[in-house]
């Protein structure tokens, strides 16, 4: 910080400049978070007797949630979804694409990147419909290709369908992050390893991965956070068939807004906020360590990482 206050704003005016933004953030971000905690501790409902006079019930909702089969069922599905589509799917595929393209310049590289990016930037409603069309039972393209007419993928393998869908949807972020990460690996080290007779696999394991450890961790934390909060599967399956794809966001939606159990829904939200908080704090710790690999290679420096964690919950 050089000489402060170049335009002579003064503290008063500066505070007035900051106020509108802070008011909106306080009203629509901070307050809802705090209110979630309060609601989660009451028997608040949309209609009926408890709607008028919500009673304070403390941790009952949370205990109730943890004891419910439908909650544990949903938690299990969410874990499958996050592990399958983010940790195993997006991260591995993203790295593989970045690795395959690392020494290429030209049309092929641009084409692959363009398609992967397109899957990422198209609106969620559009890509969800593309996949509904692709997986259609009667004349979906996938059945035509595989020669499996009449297979209703979204009914017979709903979880696998939304996992593959989310891999397709979100790999772009990991691909770009790993492309940036791979460009930071010193070529001389690879050269030395190669001259020492290391195989491709050994180079990858002993030279590349240790060098980009920070990036890998950043990547896993962010995509896990986004996938955990992703509402898009709802557009494909609506949580069905028979709640087989009811991940936590969809479960909360159905409980709180569809069935009107707002207190119980809020208790579930509290648990979700806690998980988000833990992931975010681990990420902040990582950035604090000032590990050069930990900032995700962005132009805005450390800290802008979780920047675009979408409120919509898209990846």
Partner 1 sequence: MTPGRAAGAVLRYTALAAVLGFFALPLLWLAFAPFDRAPSVAASLPRFTLDNFRELLDNENAVRSLRNSLLLAAGTGGIVVAFAASAAYALSRVRLPGRDALLYALLLLSSIVTGTAAMVPLFNLAYELDLIDSRLGVVLVLSGGLLPSAIFILKDFTDTTPRSYEESARVFGASPLQIVAHIVVPLIRPGLATIAVWSVAQVWGNFLIPFLLLRSPEKSPAAVVMYTFYTEGGQPDLALISTFSLLYSLPVVAMFLFVSSRYGFRFHGGIKH
Write phi, then psi, for 8 (nearest 5 degrees): 70, 40
Q: What character string, x for contact with partner 1 (CB under 8 A) and - otherwise, covers 50-69?
A: --------------------
The yes or no reply on residue 258 touching partner 1 (CB under 8 A) is: no
| C-alpha–C-alpha distance, residues 23 and 44, integer Å | 26
The span of 68-76, 149-157, 172-180, 206-214 binding partner 1 (CB under 8 A) equals: 172-180
Please state the closest distance from residue 195 (CB atom) to partner 1, in A: 17
Please state the closest distance from residue 15 (CB atom) to partner 1, in A: 7
Please state the closest distance from residue 139 (CB atom) to partner 1, in A: 4
Q: Considering only residues 76-115, where is the footprint of partner 1 by CB under 8 A?
A: 93, 96-97, 100-101, 108, 111-112, 115
Q: Which of 49, 63, 110, 141 binds partner 1 (CB under 8 A)?
A: 141
8 Å CB contact between 248 and 75: yes
Please state the closest distance from residue 265 (CB atom) to partner 1, in A: 5
Q: Which of 88, 122, 146, 282 binds partner 1 (CB under 8 A)?
A: 122
| C-alpha–C-alpha distance, residues 301 and 10, integer Å | 28
Q: Considering only residues 218-237, where is the footprint of partner 1 by CB under 8 A?
A: 218, 222, 225, 229-232, 235
Q: Which of 87, 117, 193, 217 binds partner 1 (CB under 8 A)?
A: 117
| C-alpha–C-alpha distance, residues 166 and 291, integer Å | 30
Give which of 101, 104, 124, 106 is closest to 175, Cα–Cα. Answer: 101
Count residues binding partner 1 (CB under 8 A). Answer: 116
Which DSSP symbol is given to 310?
-
The yes or no reply on residue 174 touching partner 1 (CB under 8 A) is: no
Please state the closest distance from residue 148 (CB atom) to partner 1, in A: 14
Please state the closest distance from residue 189 (CB atom) to partner 1, in A: 21
Alpha helices by DSSP H, listed for the chain, are: 10-25, 31-40, 49-52, 60-67, 69-81, 91-100, 107-121, 124-134, 141-146, 153-156, 158-182, 187-195, 200-203, 209-211, 213-228, 233-237, 248-252, 262-288
The yes or no reply on residue 30 touching partner 1 (CB under 8 A) is: yes
8 Å CB contact between 178 and 99: yes
8 Å CB contact between 54 and 235: no
| C-alpha–C-alpha distance, residues 34 and 245, integer Å | 29
Q: Which of 84, 89, 293, 305 binds partner 1 (CB under 8 A)?
A: 305
The yes or no reply on residue 160 touching partner 1 (CB under 8 A) is: no
| C-alpha–C-alpha distance, residues 142 and 109, integer Å | 26
Biggest CA–CA distance in the chain, Å, is: 77
The yes or no reply on residue 178 touching partner 1 (CB under 8 A) is: no
| C-alpha–C-alpha distance, residues 115 and 277, integer Å | 33
Please state the closest distance from residue 212 (CB atom) to partner 1, in A: 14
The yes or no reply on residue 204 touching partner 1 (CB under 8 A) is: no
Q: Considering only residues 271-290, where is the footprint of partner 1 by CB under 8 A?
A: 272-273, 276-277, 280-281, 284
């Amino acid at each position: 910080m050089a000489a402060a206050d170049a335009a002579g704003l003064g503290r008063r005016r500066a505070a007035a400049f900051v106020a509108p933004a802070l008011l909106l953030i306080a009203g629509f971000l901070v307050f809802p978070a705090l209110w979630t905690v309060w609601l989660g501790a009451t028997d608040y409902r949309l209609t009926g007797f408890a709607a008028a006079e919500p009673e304070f019930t403390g941790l009952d909702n949370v205990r109730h949630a943890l004891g419910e089969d439908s909650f544990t069922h949903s938690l299990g599905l969410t874990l499958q979804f996050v592990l399958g589509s983010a940790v195993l799917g997006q991260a591995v595929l993203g790295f593989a694409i970045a690795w395959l393209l690392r020494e290429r310049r030209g049309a092929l590289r641009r084409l692959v990147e363009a398609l992967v990016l397109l899957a990422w930037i198209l609106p969620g409603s559009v890509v969800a419909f593309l996949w509904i069309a692709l997986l259609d039972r009667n004349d979906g393209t996938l059945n035509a290709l595989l020669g499996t007419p009449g297979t209703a993928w979204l009914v017979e393998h709903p979880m696998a369908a939304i996992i593959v869908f989310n891999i397709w949807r979100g790999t772009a972020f990991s691909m770009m992050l790993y492309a940036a990460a791979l460009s930071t690996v010193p070529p001389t080290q690879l050269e030395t390893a190669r001259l020492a007779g290391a195989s491709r696999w050994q180079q990858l394991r002993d030279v590349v991965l240790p060098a980009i450890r920070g990036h890998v961790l950043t990547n896993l934390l962010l995509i896990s956070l986004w996938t955990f909060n992703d509402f898009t599967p709802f557009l494909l399956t609506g949580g069905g068939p028979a709640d087989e794809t009811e991940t936590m966001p969809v479960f909360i939606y159905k409980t709180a807004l569809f069935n009107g159990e707002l207190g119980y829904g809020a208790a579930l939200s509290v648990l979700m906020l806690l998980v988000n908080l833990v992931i975010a704090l681990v990420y902040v710790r990582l950035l604090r360590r000032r590990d050069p690999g930990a900032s995700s290679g962005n132009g805005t420096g450390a800290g802008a990482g979780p920047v675009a964690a979408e409120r919509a919950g898209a990846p």
